[in-house]
Amino acid sequence: MTKLQAKHQAECDLLEDMRTFSQKKAAIEREYAQGIQKLASQYLKRDWPGIKTDDRNDYRSMYPVWKSFLEATMQVAQSRINICENYKNFISEPARAVRSLTMCGSVDKDPNRITRNCERFSERQKEVL
- Other beta carbons within 10 angstroms of residue 77's beta carbon come to 21
pLDDT at position 71: 94
Query: Using 50, 70 and 90 to split pLDDT, how confident is the model at 106?
Result: very low
How far is CA 82 from its chain centroid? 6
Domain positions in the chain are: 2-128
**Is 60 exceeded by the pLDDT of residue 105?**
no
| Radius of gyration of the chain measured on its C-alpha atoms | 23
Tell me the per-residue pLDDT of 1-27, one tens digit each, with 9 for 90 and over: 688 778 878 888 888 888 888 888 889
The yes-or-no verdict on residue 127 having pLDDT over 70 is: yes
pLDDT at position 111 is 58
